[in-house]
Structure 1
């Protein structure tokens, strides 16, 4: 029997919801491109429930305990006296979400002598030191594609929120005003703008496909160039590097993984090469941007707006400058944890566990590292950049 530690975000301040805004969520039969959704033997939850917080427990607790496993569910993950730190040394499996990550540093991995499997309930496993996991032969898996569309929708929303200056307009309405001139002095149409996509993987392509109908000029950069027919379909211009791309866009969306090459990439030097008054939406990882460089660019007017869903660290401290910098539309890493997205990544997490306990192979698209080397999705996304 295994000991499983689930690190999940806290329940709502008002308490776990007694009811939901909707009675059902739409059923999605397949991902774009025909990839299949998670296929666990059972779900253990009702799709549309709040699963990502402690009381939701990803719908896993009752099932795991019925199988004889020990389950610890906590939101307390920071510092030497945290529940996570205390429970980690004899844990066999650790599960957390990118929105409330259980950071597995080399030091923590060294302490976790029994650790054999790390699961990201969602997408993005950079909160686990992958080199240390490889050295120990720990398997790292994530639920690839489970919330890619959720993040893409959030990205499109934030692009529009920035360009139309929605935050200020809503604030005026909420505060009882009718200051039309004030409300529109920074509001533009997205139509005709040049939109660049940094990294055209699943999320990046979904953003391209959703922004195309707005009549924008689309361009992208990626380590792997997209097929010519795809570029033609969306009238895409390809750039060899992020440095070339940013000089030619009004809006930049960021979808790259956090690696040694992308950390701090959006710095003073790069931001200075963008056209004055550009916008950036970063739902990928906060550390891809130089925190203070973004603040400086907004304060100087080099950037007209910055939105994102990711911070460094997470959760961000109360005094993090991105909370109060001008012309921002930040959210607290919620893009991929809509109730719809939660149903998919909870189901995928259960599928991974079912396969693990049965000794069956984990889907290649879920794998990041296995057997001491990068595997599956990890070989594509992380191996060449680690």
Structure 2
């Protein structure tokens, strides 16, 4: 019965920030939905009954004023792994739990990392433009790329996504190095042929491709700056699928312009999108995608299902499968 379903706040159905019809149907099976616009139009009617805030693509943002206007709220169920957009201590102080959706995003994220690496190495985007350009009459030598097979890949952050990148890289016969706060087991390392670098500097000096897969924390903000970029090979490529703030973008622009590194392939920037006059957008050795690491139909469906699982547990007073807890 509809009356028995708990009420949940969502961004919108459809639109740029909303849920595709298939995903919305999953939510509707278990919850009565209120769109953010509806809440703003009549907060006195909708606010008191909402028990779940579903956050999709960072919307609706868990602003303090919004949370305080939802007195029955039990959980903020966020889609994706990152929680840097959530003030978990403040949310918890209101008696509200926080959940994310780890695991289900790993394959799509790892796939995109490899896609960016390959596209940058082989200049696939430039090649496409030349291939479809009506003025093209010959293939320029500028499309010469760099070899991926047999090259050295350095993975910064060897969690689940980083490990899946390593698994994919093994198929390209890449030499795999990784740097992580905690070393993986010997069995994990042997399965993908990965070598552990205690020092990030060591990994940067030795790698042909450096893939950043860390969570954004106070320790990782600005992790890759002028000094780190200066350690990389001039033939190296930086791939970032973590968060834009992990890389000092001014330092990256300088390194790319000066030829200190060969190229960069980024799925994340800060802010997103970048201002239209940002220098990164005009550099020929940069490939940028708009934070699409988890943007596949299968992954989106799995994320929504995991959000629902966490939300139902919160409403029923059960332990959340993916509760985000303070360390």
Task: Please state which band the TM-score falls in when normalised by the shorter chain.
Answer: 0.7 to 0.9
Residues in 2 aligned to 1:263 and 1:180: alpha-carbon distance in whole angstroms: 41
CA distance in 1, matches of 2:65, 2:309: 29
What TM-score, normalized to structure 1? 0.74
Looking at structure 1, the residues matched to 25 and 301 of structure 2 have their Cα atoms a distance apart, in angstroms, of 9
Does the aligned pair in 2 maintain the 1:172–1:178 contact within 8 Å? no
Q: Does 1:342 align with 2:305?
A: no
Structure 1 unaligned runs (5+)? 13-50, 77-81, 375-382
The match for 1:367 is 323
Bigger proportion of residues as helix: 2
Deviation (angstroms), 1:219: 0.3
For residue 206 of structure 2, give the secondary structure of its aligned residue in structure 1: coil
Of stretches 271-280 and 110-119 in structure 1, the one that deviates more from structure 2 is 110-119
* Gapped regions of structure 2 (runs ≥ 5): none
Q: Distance in 2 between matches of 1:313 and 1:346?
A: 25
Aligned partner of 2:29 in structure 1 is: 63
Alpha-carbon shift at residue 164 of structure 1 (Å): 0.9
**CA–CA distance in 1 between the matches of 2:208 and 2:199?**
16
Residue 53 of structure 1 aligns with which residue? 19
2:109 to 133, 151, 155: 151
Q: Does 1:274 align with 2:240?
A: no
Tell me the residue number matched to 1:181. Answer: 140
RMSD: 2.9
Structure 2: distance between partners of 1:55 and 1:295: 40
Task: Report the alpha carbon displacement of residue 339 of structure 1 after superposing the two structures with TM.
Answer: 0.8
- Relative to the length of structure 2, the TM-score reads 0.86
Shift of 1:294: 1.5
Counterparts of 1:115 and 1:104 in 2: how far apart (Å)?
12
Number of residues paired by the alignment? 319
Cα gap change, 1:5/1:324 in structure 2, threshold over 3 Å: closer, same or farther? farther
Alignment check: 8 A CA contact 1:126 1:258 kept:
yes
How far apart are residue 141 of structure 1 and its match? 0.5
Change (3 A) 1:354 1:108: closer
1:11 aligns with 2:37: no
What are the residue-to-residue correspondences of 1:209-358 with 2, within 5 Å?
Answer: 209-358=167-316
Deviation of the 1:140 alpha carbon: 0.9
**5 Å matches for 1:117-196?**
117-176=75-134, 177-185=136-144, 187-196=145-154
Between the aligned partners of 2:225 and 2:191, the Cα distance in structure 1 is 33
Label 1:145 to 1:58 Cα distance change in 2 as closer, same or farther (>3 A).
Answer: farther
Paired position in structure 1 for 2:155: 197
The answer to whether the 8 A contact 2:152-2:207 is kept is: yes
Counterparts in 2 of 1:101 and 1:156: CA distance versus 1, 3 Å: farther
SS of the residue corresponding to residue 310 of structure 1 reads coil
Q: Is the 8 A contact 1:59 1:346 kept in 2?
A: no
Change (3 A) 1:303 1:138: farther
Residue 367 of structure 1 deviates from its aligned partner by: 1.6
**Would the aligned equivalents of 1:162 and 1:307 in 2 still touch at CA under 8 Å?**
yes
